[in-house]
Structure formats: structure tokens, C-alpha cells
Amino acid sequence: MMNFKVPSRLRRLLIDSVDLPQLKFPVTRPRSQPARQRVSTQLVPQQLTEILWFGRNPGDLRMLEYVPPGAEGPMPLVVVLHGCHQNAEDFDRASGWTALARRHGFAVLYAEQKASNNPNLCFNWFRPSLVTRDRGELGSIREMIDFSRKLHEIDDKRIFVMGLSAGGAMASALLATYPDLFAAGAIVGGLPFGAARDAMSALDVMSRGAARPAEKWGELIREVSPDATRFPAVSIWHGADDNVVSYANAEASVAQWLAVRGRPQTKGRLRLFEGGERREWRDDYGDKVLELVTLTDFGHGLPVRSAVEGREPANDSERFILPATISAPEQLVQSWGLA
């Protein structure tokens, strides 16, 4: 039998193109008891495809995407940004974003950090040179979005972004810098735009929050988007017991986005639900412009519905994706009109 070596790039393409079946192991039960099937609510993720070239990539990030097979016509696009110690594939497996995309017919784009940029795989949201318009990591994500718009039939009026933790802070930067690009965005366990300017101040503001008047928070957005004619709707999610990113950062984010819209903080409408509360602010036309979802007895992570109770997290991605009474991805799909 002749042996030959498959080039590494070809081998990678071959592996990526194969859908591996999900293995299921039977459970043996006594004959005297009828077998009871446990119904799982866990969304089965779909396979992500890496795009090896999408532009200059000034921030040296990875781009991965999922487009539902057979999707026709202009479709929405959801940009997802993971947190520290996470990667796109594991984050998607635990959050179920691509499964939601397949069910409802929208595209998903993941930007992934590299260890060469940050050993903890955090997006460098606290370095001004990397979150400046069309530069650094912010520029890379913008190029990914533009490439996806050219490659697929994307509805330019329905582009959304969601980020967790450091990804949430990067989502803040995207929404502030490119407000005309996004219809809406979600900041989960994240921080307001401009909260820090280096690694030391980032650690401080994460643990204690940053004290600024609301107007000063709003000015940070106006400085980078002085000609903005509209701003996206923003959804802020935070655990009341978050000991990684202080809840004060959620309050600062609320102050920032209300200030840039010229809305008072006192007119938020409060709604209670099992496991937390939701406060909403609307414009003069009755459209929701901002919401703050506070989860009681909840730490640092992305809230999702848990399918397997008591299961230990397999990796850091799962460690920061936590069971809750509501699922942030599912709720966002509904509120963004993707269902």
C-alpha cells in the first residue's frame, strides 16, 4: 500500500468539511421499569467555518461564521464576541447561537482572540489604539462584518452584536464607534465604552467600577461618533452577584447610553420576572432604546437554560456560561425580531 503525506492545509479543510455524528450511548434499565426518555432543551450547535482571509486584519483576529444552508434573501447577521479564557467553538457549543441561527434563518459571525494578542484570550478593549475606528481589533471586526456583507445576502438594516465580559466591553466599543452599522447590541457582564485606558486601570474598573457623571460617559461616545444620526438599541445584562466585573459597570453603561440619547434615568419602566428584573427606557415614539436585565443570585457569565443539571463545566467557556431562569441568546433572538 502506497503511503503519502497530506498537506496540513488540505488536511484541515478535509476535517472541517466533515460533520461528525453525535455519539449516543444507551442506558440499561431494569425490565420491570418502563424506559423514560429525558428530553433535553440544549440547542445542538452547528459547525463553524473559518474564513482565512477577510481583509487587512489589523488586530490579527480569527473569523468564524455559520450561514444556515438554503437560506434565501437578505438575512440578519449576529456578531458574537466571547469572553476571556474562551474561544469561538466552545462558546458556541455552550451558548447555542448557531443552533438558533439554523432554526430562525440568520447568519452568525464569531471574532476570536489569539493568545499572541492576549495570553488570557481577552479582547483588548482597554487599549485605545486597538479600539479606534478602523484600527486594531475593532478594525478587524469591522472588516469581518464588511466581508460577510459582500459574501452573503445580509440585511444591512439588521446587523446585531452580542459580547460577554471582555467581549461585552468590545461590543460597547463597536456600538459606540459604528452606531449606524448596528440595529441593536447586547453587553453581557461587560463595561461601558472608554472605562479604562490600560491594563492596570482595566483591572481596577472591573473590580470597583468607574465614577463619572452621566454626561461625561455620553461624551466618550460623542467624541468617536460626532456625526452619528442614530444610535442602536442597547441591551445590558448583568448578574447582581458578579464578582469579576462589578455591577457598577452595568449602571455606568446605562448612564452612558441614556446620556448620549438625552434620556433621563428616572423614566425607566420596571418589570419583574422569575430570577431577576428588567428595566426599560423608550423614546418619544414608544420604541425601546435601552434595557437593563439584572439577574439575582447570578455571578459572572452568560445566562442560558441548563439542560443537564449538576454537570460540571468542561472548560472555561462553559464555566462562564451559567444556567438561569432565562436564556440571553433566546431572549435576544425574540427582542431583535429574529424569530
Catalytic residues: 165
Q: How far apart are CA 311 and CA 69, in angstroms?
A: 32
CA atoms within 13 A on the CB side of 259: 20
C-alpha cell at 100: 438558533
CA atoms within 13 A on the CB side of 285: 3
3-state secondary structure 60-126: CCEEEEECCCCCCCCEEEEEEECCCCCCHHHHHHHHCHHHHHHHHCCEEEEEECCCCCCCCCCCCCC
Q: What is the CA radius of gyration of the chain?
A: 21
Ramachandran area for residue 223 (φ above 0: left; ψ -120 to 50: alpha; else beta): alpha
Phi, psi of 118 (to 5 degrees): -155, 115
146, containing H or E segment: helix 136-151
Burial classification of residue 279, based on how many CB atoms lie within 10 Å of its CB (0-12 exposed, 13-18 middle, 19 or more buried): middle
List of residues 6+ apart from 122 with CB closer than 8 A: 83, 84, 113, 165, 166
Q: Are 110 and 90 in contact (CB under 8 A)?
A: no
